Chain A
Amino acid sequence: MHIRFSTLGKHLSTRRDGAVMREKIARGIEEKQWIELDFDGVEVISNSFADECFAKLMFDYDLPTVKSSTTFKNASPFIKAVIANSFKERLHTMHMA
Protein backbone atom coordinates (compact mmCIF):
# COMPACT_ATOMS: atom_id res chain seq x y z
CA MET A 1 0.00 0.00 0.00
CA HIS A 2 1.46 3.33 -1.01
CA ILE A 3 0.05 6.45 0.68
CA ARG A 4 1.01 9.76 -0.87
CA PHE A 5 0.54 12.56 1.59
CA SER A 6 1.03 15.20 -1.10
CA THR A 7 -2.51 14.46 -2.29
CA LEU A 8 -3.54 16.63 0.67
CA GLY A 9 -1.16 19.44 -0.25
CA LYS A 10 2.27 20.77 0.64
CA HIS A 11 1.31 21.89 4.11
CA LEU A 12 -0.59 19.38 6.22
CA SER A 13 -2.13 20.95 9.25
CA THR A 14 -5.62 19.82 10.08
CA ARG A 15 -6.73 17.04 12.38
CA ARG A 16 -9.45 16.21 9.92
CA ASP A 17 -6.89 15.41 7.22
CA GLY A 18 -4.86 13.49 9.77
CA ALA A 19 -7.86 11.37 10.69
CA VAL A 20 -8.56 10.55 7.04
CA MET A 21 -5.00 9.35 6.55
CA ARG A 22 -5.01 7.44 9.80
CA GLU A 23 -8.01 5.46 8.63
CA LYS A 24 -6.14 4.49 5.47
CA ILE A 25 -3.11 3.41 7.47
CA ALA A 26 -5.29 1.45 9.89
CA ARG A 27 -6.97 -0.35 7.03
CA GLY A 28 -3.58 -1.32 5.68
CA ILE A 29 -2.46 -2.62 9.06
CA GLU A 30 -5.63 -4.68 9.46
CA GLU A 31 -5.12 -6.12 6.00
CA LYS A 32 -1.51 -6.91 6.96
CA GLN A 33 -0.18 -4.84 4.09
CA TRP A 34 3.24 -3.24 3.93
CA ILE A 35 2.53 0.48 3.98
CA GLU A 36 4.79 3.09 2.44
CA LEU A 37 4.14 6.55 3.88
CA ASP A 38 5.38 8.83 1.14
CA PHE A 39 5.99 12.50 1.91
CA ASP A 40 7.37 13.48 -1.45
CA GLY A 41 6.11 16.99 -2.17
CA VAL A 42 5.15 17.71 1.42
CA GLU A 43 7.03 20.59 2.99
CA VAL A 44 5.48 20.99 6.40
CA ILE A 45 3.24 19.07 8.75
CA SER A 46 1.78 20.37 11.97
CA ASN A 47 1.92 18.73 15.37
CA SER A 48 -1.86 18.34 15.25
CA PHE A 49 -1.79 16.54 11.95
CA ALA A 50 1.01 14.24 13.11
CA ASP A 51 -0.78 13.45 16.34
CA GLU A 52 -4.07 12.71 14.63
CA CYS A 53 -2.57 10.73 11.78
CA PHE A 54 0.20 8.78 13.44
CA ALA A 55 0.28 9.02 17.20
CA LYS A 56 -3.35 8.10 17.60
CA LEU A 57 -2.67 4.82 15.79
CA MET A 58 -1.39 3.77 19.20
CA PHE A 59 -4.94 3.77 20.56
CA ASP A 60 -5.61 0.70 18.47
CA TYR A 61 -2.21 -0.82 17.73
CA ASP A 62 0.99 -1.62 19.53
CA LEU A 63 3.80 0.61 18.41
CA PRO A 64 5.83 -2.46 17.38
CA THR A 65 2.93 -3.42 15.10
CA VAL A 66 2.82 0.07 13.58
CA LYS A 67 6.59 0.00 13.14
CA SER A 68 6.64 -3.39 11.50
CA SER A 69 3.82 -2.48 9.12
CA THR A 70 5.03 0.88 7.84
CA THR A 71 7.98 2.79 6.48
CA PHE A 72 8.52 6.50 5.94
CA LYS A 73 9.76 7.68 2.57
CA ASN A 74 10.90 11.07 1.35
CA ALA A 75 10.23 12.69 4.70
CA SER A 76 12.47 15.60 5.59
CA PRO A 77 14.29 15.61 8.94
CA PHE A 78 11.84 18.27 10.09
CA ILE A 79 8.82 16.15 9.22
CA LYS A 80 10.35 13.09 10.85
CA ALA A 81 11.05 15.06 14.00
CA VAL A 82 7.46 16.30 14.19
CA ILE A 83 6.14 12.78 13.73
CA ALA A 84 8.55 11.25 16.24
CA ASN A 85 7.69 13.94 18.74
CA SER A 86 3.98 13.32 18.25
CA PHE A 87 4.47 9.65 19.10
CA LYS A 88 6.52 10.49 22.17
CA GLU A 89 4.05 13.09 23.42
CA ARG A 90 1.14 10.76 22.93
CA LEU A 91 3.05 7.93 24.63
CA HIS A 92 3.61 10.20 27.58
CA THR A 93 -0.08 11.02 27.72
CA MET A 94 -1.04 7.37 27.49
CA HIS A 95 1.44 6.39 30.17
CA MET A 96 0.07 9.03 32.50
CA ALA A 97 -3.54 7.96 31.88
Chain B
Amino acid sequence: MSHYTVYINFGEDISHWGLVSLFNEVHEASEGDSMQLTIDFSAESLFVYADHLLVVVIMVQHLRILGVNVKIDILGSSEYASRVNFFHLLEIPYDERFIRQLSRGRFIELLRFDADSMYQLQDDLTMIIHQIGNIAIEVKQLIFYCLIEIMDNVIVHSGKEYGWLAAQVFPNRREIRLVICDNGIGVLESLRSSEKEEFQAIDGAAALEKCLQRGVTDGKGIGFGLYATSEFIRHNKGDLLLYSGSYCLEFSESAVVIRDGANWPGTVVALRIRTDIPVDYKNIMPSHHTLPDDYQFFIDKFFGEDNELW
Protein backbone atom coordinates (compact mmCIF):
# COMPACT_ATOMS: atom_id res chain seq x y z
CA MET B 1 0.00 0.00 0.00
CA SER B 2 1.27 3.45 -0.91
CA HIS B 3 1.05 6.67 0.99
CA TYR B 4 0.95 10.09 -0.59
CA THR B 5 1.38 13.54 0.86
CA VAL B 6 -0.02 16.73 -0.62
CA TYR B 7 0.35 20.23 0.82
CA ILE B 8 -1.67 23.15 -0.51
CA ASN B 9 -0.84 26.64 0.67
CA PHE B 10 -3.55 29.16 -0.15
CA GLY B 11 -1.20 31.88 1.00
CA GLU B 12 0.50 31.50 -2.36
CA ASP B 13 -1.10 32.63 -5.58
CA ILE B 14 -1.17 29.24 -7.21
CA SER B 15 -2.43 28.69 -10.72
CA HIS B 16 -5.01 26.09 -11.71
CA TRP B 17 -2.25 24.15 -13.38
CA GLY B 18 -0.06 24.36 -10.31
CA LEU B 19 -2.88 23.17 -8.10
CA VAL B 20 -3.70 20.16 -10.27
CA SER B 21 0.02 19.36 -10.50
CA LEU B 22 0.19 18.96 -6.73
CA PHE B 23 -1.92 15.84 -7.11
CA ASN B 24 0.15 14.36 -9.93
CA GLU B 25 1.60 11.41 -8.08
CA VAL B 26 -1.69 10.66 -6.39
CA HIS B 27 -3.12 9.54 -9.72
CA GLU B 28 -1.20 6.31 -9.16
CA ALA B 29 -3.24 5.71 -6.00
CA SER B 30 -5.64 2.82 -5.76
CA GLU B 31 -7.85 1.13 -3.23
CA GLY B 32 -6.18 0.73 0.12
CA ASP B 33 -3.66 3.49 -0.43
CA SER B 34 -3.72 6.61 1.69
CA MET B 35 -3.16 10.32 1.23
CA GLN B 36 -2.36 12.98 3.80
CA LEU B 37 -3.70 16.30 2.52
CA THR B 38 -2.74 19.46 4.38
CA ILE B 39 -4.57 22.63 3.39
CA ASP B 40 -2.98 25.77 4.72
CA PHE B 41 -5.09 28.89 5.23
CA SER B 42 -2.76 30.35 7.85
CA ALA B 43 -1.11 33.10 5.78
CA GLU B 44 -2.10 36.68 6.49
CA SER B 45 -3.09 37.22 2.88
CA LEU B 46 -4.96 34.42 1.19
CA PHE B 47 -5.74 33.67 -2.43
CA VAL B 48 -8.87 31.61 -2.04
CA TYR B 49 -10.82 31.11 -5.22
CA ALA B 50 -13.99 29.07 -5.48
CA ASP B 51 -12.74 27.29 -8.59
CA HIS B 52 -9.56 26.21 -6.80
CA LEU B 53 -11.57 24.96 -3.85
CA LEU B 54 -13.75 22.94 -6.20
CA VAL B 55 -10.71 21.31 -7.79
CA VAL B 56 -9.63 20.12 -4.34
CA VAL B 57 -13.12 18.86 -3.47
CA ILE B 58 -13.46 16.85 -6.65
CA MET B 59 -9.99 15.37 -6.38
CA VAL B 60 -10.65 14.24 -2.80
CA GLN B 61 -14.03 12.80 -3.70
CA HIS B 62 -12.53 11.02 -6.70
CA LEU B 63 -9.84 9.42 -4.55
CA ARG B 64 -12.34 8.38 -1.91
CA ILE B 65 -14.51 6.72 -4.55
CA LEU B 66 -11.41 4.79 -5.62
CA GLY B 67 -11.04 3.55 -2.06
CA VAL B 68 -8.12 5.76 -1.09
CA ASN B 69 -8.09 6.76 2.55
CA VAL B 70 -7.82 10.55 2.55
CA LYS B 71 -6.89 12.28 5.77
CA ILE B 72 -7.16 16.06 5.77
CA ASP B 73 -5.58 18.58 8.11
CA ILE B 74 -6.54 22.24 8.00
CA LEU B 75 -4.12 24.94 9.08
CA GLY B 76 -5.54 28.36 9.80
CA SER B 77 -9.03 29.34 8.77
CA SER B 78 -11.06 30.66 5.88
CA GLU B 79 -14.55 32.05 6.33
CA TYR B 80 -15.01 32.17 2.60
CA ALA B 81 -14.12 28.50 2.13
CA SER B 82 -16.51 27.58 4.90
CA ARG B 83 -19.26 29.76 3.54
CA VAL B 84 -19.16 28.06 0.14
CA ASN B 85 -19.35 24.68 1.92
CA PHE B 86 -15.80 23.62 1.12
CA PHE B 87 -15.22 21.91 4.48
CA HIS B 88 -18.67 20.34 4.46
CA LEU B 89 -18.01 18.80 1.05
CA LEU B 90 -14.69 17.45 2.25
CA GLU B 91 -16.56 15.94 5.20
CA ILE B 92 -14.35 17.54 7.77
CA PRO B 93 -15.60 19.48 10.79
CA TYR B 94 -14.98 23.19 10.81
CA ASP B 95 -15.85 25.62 13.53
CA GLU B 96 -17.71 28.46 11.84
CA ARG B 97 -17.11 31.46 14.04
CA PHE B 98 -19.42 33.70 12.11
CA ILE B 99 -23.14 33.98 11.49
CA ARG B 100 -24.13 32.78 8.08
CA GLN B 101 -26.04 35.47 6.31
CA LEU B 102 -27.70 35.09 2.99
CA SER B 103 -25.88 37.77 1.11
CA ARG B 104 -26.73 38.60 -2.42
CA GLY B 105 -24.32 37.06 -4.88
CA ARG B 106 -21.33 37.13 -2.58
CA PHE B 107 -21.27 33.51 -1.66
CA ILE B 108 -22.21 31.17 -4.42
CA GLU B 109 -21.72 27.72 -3.00
CA LEU B 110 -19.81 24.93 -4.67
CA LEU B 111 -22.63 23.20 -6.48
CA ARG B 112 -23.27 19.78 -7.89
CA PHE B 113 -25.61 19.44 -10.85
CA ASP B 114 -27.18 16.65 -12.86
CA ALA B 115 -29.53 16.39 -15.82
CA ASP B 116 -32.51 17.29 -13.65
CA SER B 117 -31.05 20.20 -11.77
CA MET B 118 -28.86 21.94 -14.33
CA TYR B 119 -31.61 24.07 -15.85
CA GLN B 120 -32.70 25.38 -12.46
CA LEU B 121 -29.05 26.02 -11.65
CA GLN B 122 -28.65 27.93 -14.90
CA ASP B 123 -31.67 30.07 -13.99
CA ASP B 124 -30.57 30.68 -10.41
CA LEU B 125 -26.97 31.50 -11.24
CA THR B 126 -27.94 33.72 -14.14
CA MET B 127 -30.37 35.61 -11.96
CA ILE B 128 -27.75 36.06 -9.24
CA ILE B 129 -25.37 37.51 -11.81
CA HIS B 130 -28.17 39.57 -13.39
CA GLN B 131 -28.81 41.29 -10.07
CA ILE B 132 -25.25 42.50 -9.89
CA GLY B 133 -24.80 45.92 -11.39
CA ASN B 134 -21.94 47.04 -13.55
CA ILE B 135 -21.88 43.94 -15.72
CA ALA B 136 -22.51 44.45 -19.42
CA ILE B 137 -25.82 42.90 -20.47
CA GLU B 138 -24.09 41.27 -23.42
CA VAL B 139 -21.77 39.49 -21.00
CA LYS B 140 -24.72 38.33 -18.92
CA GLN B 141 -26.47 37.00 -22.00
CA LEU B 142 -23.45 35.02 -23.14
CA ILE B 143 -22.79 33.63 -19.67
CA PHE B 144 -26.41 32.46 -19.68
CA TYR B 145 -25.79 30.67 -22.96
CA CYS B 146 -22.35 29.21 -22.22
CA LEU B 147 -23.34 28.01 -18.76
CA ILE B 148 -25.93 25.54 -19.97
CA GLU B 149 -23.79 24.48 -22.93
CA ILE B 150 -20.86 23.51 -20.72
CA MET B 151 -23.04 21.83 -18.09
CA ASP B 152 -24.78 19.93 -20.85
CA ASN B 153 -21.39 18.79 -22.13
CA VAL B 154 -20.74 17.16 -18.77
CA ILE B 155 -24.04 15.31 -18.74
CA VAL B 156 -23.84 14.23 -22.37
CA HIS B 157 -20.15 13.51 -22.88
CA SER B 158 -18.44 12.73 -19.57
CA GLY B 159 -20.00 9.36 -18.92
CA LYS B 160 -21.00 10.63 -15.50
CA GLU B 161 -24.43 11.55 -14.26
CA TYR B 162 -23.32 14.73 -12.54
CA GLY B 163 -20.80 17.52 -12.59
CA TRP B 164 -19.74 20.42 -10.41
CA LEU B 165 -19.81 24.17 -10.70
CA ALA B 166 -18.23 27.06 -8.86
CA ALA B 167 -18.63 30.77 -9.51
CA GLN B 168 -17.19 33.87 -7.94
CA VAL B 169 -17.84 37.51 -8.79
CA PHE B 170 -15.16 40.14 -8.27
CA PRO B 171 -16.91 43.51 -8.72
CA ASN B 172 -13.78 45.58 -8.06
CA ARG B 173 -11.68 43.57 -10.49
CA ARG B 174 -14.53 43.56 -13.00
CA GLU B 175 -14.43 39.83 -13.52
CA ILE B 176 -16.25 36.58 -12.90
CA ARG B 177 -14.50 33.27 -12.37
CA LEU B 178 -16.52 30.25 -13.36
CA VAL B 179 -15.53 26.61 -13.42
CA ILE B 180 -17.48 23.55 -14.48
CA CYS B 181 -15.86 20.18 -14.02
CA ASP B 182 -16.31 16.48 -13.78
CA ASN B 183 -14.25 13.36 -13.20
CA GLY B 184 -15.55 11.46 -16.16
CA ILE B 185 -13.91 9.95 -19.21
CA GLY B 186 -12.25 13.14 -20.44
CA VAL B 187 -12.15 14.85 -23.81
CA LEU B 188 -9.92 12.36 -25.61
CA GLU B 189 -11.97 9.31 -24.71
CA SER B 190 -15.16 11.16 -25.49
CA LEU B 191 -13.95 12.00 -29.01
CA ARG B 192 -12.58 8.50 -29.55
CA SER B 193 -15.88 6.99 -28.47
CA SER B 194 -17.39 8.42 -31.63
CA GLU B 195 -15.31 5.93 -33.58
CA LYS B 196 -14.64 8.62 -36.17
CA GLU B 197 -11.37 7.80 -37.80
CA GLU B 198 -10.01 11.34 -37.42
CA PHE B 199 -10.12 11.00 -33.61
CA GLN B 200 -8.62 7.57 -33.18
CA ALA B 201 -4.96 8.48 -33.67
CA ILE B 202 -4.85 11.84 -31.92
CA ASP B 203 -3.37 12.42 -28.49
CA GLY B 204 -4.76 14.33 -25.54
CA ALA B 205 -3.26 17.65 -26.61
CA ALA B 206 -4.78 17.45 -30.07
CA ALA B 207 -8.09 16.44 -28.54
CA LEU B 208 -8.20 19.64 -26.50
CA GLU B 209 -7.39 21.77 -29.52
CA LYS B 210 -9.98 20.03 -31.63
CA CYS B 211 -12.82 20.21 -29.13
CA LEU B 212 -12.75 24.02 -29.28
CA GLN B 213 -13.26 23.94 -33.03
CA ARG B 214 -16.69 24.48 -34.44
CA GLY B 215 -18.46 21.31 -35.45
CA VAL B 216 -16.13 18.93 -33.60
CA THR B 217 -18.21 16.42 -31.69
CA ASP B 218 -18.29 12.82 -30.57
CA GLY B 219 -21.60 12.59 -32.33
CA LYS B 220 -23.83 13.18 -29.35
CA GLY B 221 -23.86 16.98 -29.81
CA ILE B 222 -23.37 19.49 -32.60
CA GLY B 223 -19.95 20.75 -31.57
CA PHE B 224 -20.87 24.38 -30.96
CA GLY B 225 -20.92 24.96 -27.20
CA LEU B 226 -17.22 24.98 -26.43
CA TYR B 227 -16.45 26.76 -29.67
CA ALA B 228 -18.94 29.52 -28.79
CA THR B 229 -17.51 29.73 -25.28
CA SER B 230 -13.97 30.10 -26.57
CA GLU B 231 -15.09 32.79 -29.03
CA PHE B 232 -16.87 34.63 -26.22
CA ILE B 233 -13.69 34.53 -24.15
CA ARG B 234 -11.57 35.63 -27.06
CA HIS B 235 -13.71 38.68 -27.80
CA ASN B 236 -14.11 39.35 -24.10
CA LYS B 237 -10.31 39.30 -23.57
CA GLY B 238 -10.78 36.80 -20.77
CA ASP B 239 -9.17 33.40 -20.24
CA LEU B 240 -10.28 29.84 -20.73
CA LEU B 241 -8.54 26.85 -19.23
CA LEU B 242 -9.49 23.46 -20.47
CA TYR B 243 -7.89 20.46 -18.99
CA SER B 244 -8.49 16.83 -19.37
CA GLY B 245 -6.27 13.83 -18.79
CA SER B 246 -2.66 14.93 -18.74
CA TYR B 247 -3.01 18.08 -20.82
CA CYS B 248 -4.11 21.61 -20.16
CA LEU B 249 -5.04 24.15 -22.81
CA GLU B 250 -4.81 27.82 -21.90
CA PHE B 251 -6.81 29.97 -24.31
CA SER B 252 -6.93 33.73 -24.53
CA GLU B 253 -7.26 36.43 -27.16
CA SER B 254 -3.55 36.43 -27.76
CA ALA B 255 -2.47 32.80 -27.53
CA VAL B 256 -3.30 29.15 -27.18
CA VAL B 257 -0.83 27.22 -25.04
CA ILE B 258 -0.94 23.53 -24.29
CA ARG B 259 0.91 22.10 -21.33
CA ASP B 260 1.34 18.54 -20.30
CA GLY B 261 2.24 16.84 -17.09
CA ALA B 262 -0.59 17.50 -14.66
CA ASN B 263 -3.30 14.89 -14.53
CA TRP B 264 -6.98 15.51 -14.15
CA PRO B 265 -9.38 12.55 -14.08
CA GLY B 266 -12.11 14.05 -16.23
CA THR B 267 -12.54 17.53 -17.65
CA VAL B 268 -12.30 21.03 -16.26
CA VAL B 269 -13.51 24.16 -18.01
CA ALA B 270 -12.42 27.27 -16.12
CA LEU B 271 -13.34 30.73 -17.35
CA ARG B 272 -12.22 34.18 -16.34
CA ILE B 273 -14.77 36.57 -17.78
CA ARG B 274 -14.34 40.32 -18.00
CA THR B 275 -17.54 42.03 -16.93
CA ASP B 276 -16.60 45.34 -18.49
CA ILE B 277 -16.02 44.15 -22.04
CA PRO B 278 -19.26 43.47 -23.91
CA VAL B 279 -19.29 40.95 -26.72
CA ASP B 280 -21.68 41.10 -29.64
CA TYR B 281 -23.29 37.67 -29.81
CA LYS B 282 -23.65 38.15 -33.57
CA ASN B 283 -19.90 37.69 -33.83
CA ILE B 284 -20.30 34.19 -32.46
CA MET B 285 -23.77 32.82 -33.02
CA PRO B 286 -25.32 31.64 -36.25
CA SER B 287 -27.34 34.26 -38.05
CA HIS B 288 -30.85 34.84 -36.73
CA HIS B 289 -29.88 33.51 -33.29
CA THR B 290 -32.21 34.99 -30.70
CA LEU B 291 -29.95 35.19 -27.66
CA PRO B 292 -31.17 38.60 -26.37
CA ASP B 293 -34.77 37.45 -26.74
CA ASP B 294 -33.97 34.15 -25.04
CA TYR B 295 -32.40 36.05 -22.18
CA GLN B 296 -35.34 38.39 -21.81
CA PHE B 297 -37.65 35.40 -21.91
CA PHE B 298 -35.64 33.89 -19.06
CA ILE B 299 -36.05 37.10 -17.02
CA ASP B 300 -39.79 37.18 -17.63
CA LYS B 301 -40.21 33.46 -17.04
CA PHE B 302 -38.53 33.79 -13.66
CA PHE B 303 -41.68 35.50 -12.46
CA GLY B 304 -43.98 32.80 -13.79
CA GLU B 305 -46.21 32.55 -16.80
CA ASP B 306 -48.22 35.79 -17.05
CA ASN B 307 -46.57 37.10 -13.87
CA GLU B 308 -48.00 34.29 -11.79
CA LEU B 309 -45.03 34.62 -9.39
CA TRP B 310 -44.56 31.56 -7.19
A contact residues vs B (CB 8 Å cutoff): 29-30, 58-65, 67, 70-72, 75, 77, 80-81, 83-85, 87-88, 91, 94-97
Contacts and interface: CB of A to CB of B under 8 A. Distances in A.
Interface stretch (B57-65, B144-152, B300-308): B300-308
Contacts of B306: 77
Interface stretch (B73-81, B131-139, B213-221, B247-255): B131-139
B118 interface: no
Given A72-B310, A88-B299, 16 more contacts: A29-B102, A30-B101, A60-B103, A61-B102, A64-B128, A67-B310, A77-B306, A81-B307, A83-B307, A84-B303, A88-B303, A91-B299, A94-B133, A95-B131, A95-B133, A95-B137
Given A64-B124, A71-B310, A91 B101 contact: no
B40 interface: no
Contacts of A77: 306-307
Interface in B194-245: none
Nearest to A85: B307
B131 A80 contact: no
B133 A63 contact: no
Nearest to A79: B309
B173 interface: no
A84 B307 contact: yes
Contacts of A62: 102, 104-105, 124, 127-128, 131
Given A62-B105, A91-B131, A72 B137 contact: no
Given A30-B101, A91-B130, A63 B307 contact: no
B305 to A, nearest CB: 11
Interface residues of B, number: 27
Contacts of B302: 63, 67
Contact of A80 (B103, B300, B309): B309
Interface of B: 101-105, 123-124, 127-128, 130-135, 137, 140, 299-300, 302-304, 306-310
A61 B104 contact: yes
A67 B131 CA distance: 14
Contacts of A70: 310
Given A60-B104, A71-B310, A97 B304 contact: no
Nearest to B137: A95
A29 to B, nearest CB: 6
B102 A65 contact: yes
Contacts of A80: 304, 307-309
Contacts of B124: 62, 64
Contacts of B140: 95
> Which of A29, A30, A75, A95 gathers the greatest number of chain B CB atoms within 10 Å?
A95
Given A30-B101, A30-B102, A65-B102, A95 B130 contact: yes
Q: Which 3 A-B pairs have the closest CB atoms?
A: A97-B133, A84-B307, A64-B124
Given A88-B303, A94-B133, A95-B130, A75 B104 contact: no
A30 to B, nearest CB: 7
A59 B307 CA distance: 21
Contacts of B304: 80, 84
